[in-house]
Chain A
């Protein structure tokens, strides 16, 4: 079946560096993508999203890039801080049936470790 996956399970960076977390998806019908951050002992938390009609979206210190040609999604974190240490999940949604709700498919996750 269709799936969402991540290239790297663990990413270690130094504080202040930029981090790039990658995600590959295979469902060409997906039209909405979300990045979630899960800190230890907590549930996933929304970071940023992007629709398929965009190729870039910026937030505070984070940027999501979407390349529909190769079905690739990335999350860039600028000036990474120790508080950014967490597991990051990408999730893909495709348009729900009429009246339905988006139910995302989550990728495996990448553990980001930030060294002070």
Chain B
């Protein structure tokens, strides 16, 4: 299994500001995923981040709002830009074990926007 560390674990931000969330994996992985989990809801995929290429965004999510970096095979960042209260959510990073088709998740970043 993979060990995933996310920072920060939580934050309270003012509207109009941006927050960058970091995700560190203890092994090299090709694909990393960013999810949003709104209060009491399931997980919604924001984008898939491949090292060396542009991230692939799901319908309803755009790069200007959620820019992603993937500088190497163990690290990725997700930025939530120009935040509004509607962005209050848990943001989760995950990686896939392609041999087992299982995803491993970080503990998440709990974001509150005032």
Contact residues of A with B, CB < 8 Å?
Answer: 32, 34, 41-46, 49, 89, 93, 101-104, 106-109
Contacts and interface: CB of A to CB of B under 8 A. Distances in A.
A102 B101 contact: yes
B69 to A, nearest CB: 20
B103 interface: yes
A34 B43 contact: no
Contacts of A45: 105
Interface in B71-107: 92, 94, 96, 98, 101-107
Which label, helix, strand, loop or mixed, suits the secondary structure of the B interface? Answer: strand
Nearest to A42: B107
A102 B96 contact: yes
A101 B48 CA distance: 10
Q: Which 5 A-B pairs have the closest CB atoms?
A: A43-B105, A102-B101, A106-B43, A106-B42, A108-B42
A101 to B, nearest CB: 5
Contact of A43 (B31, B42, B48, B94): B94
Given A42-B108, A43-B106, A103-B33, A89 B101 contact: no
B63 interface: no
Given A34-B102, A46-B102, A101-B31, A89 B43 contact: yes
A46 B104 CA distance: 7
A43 B98 contact: no
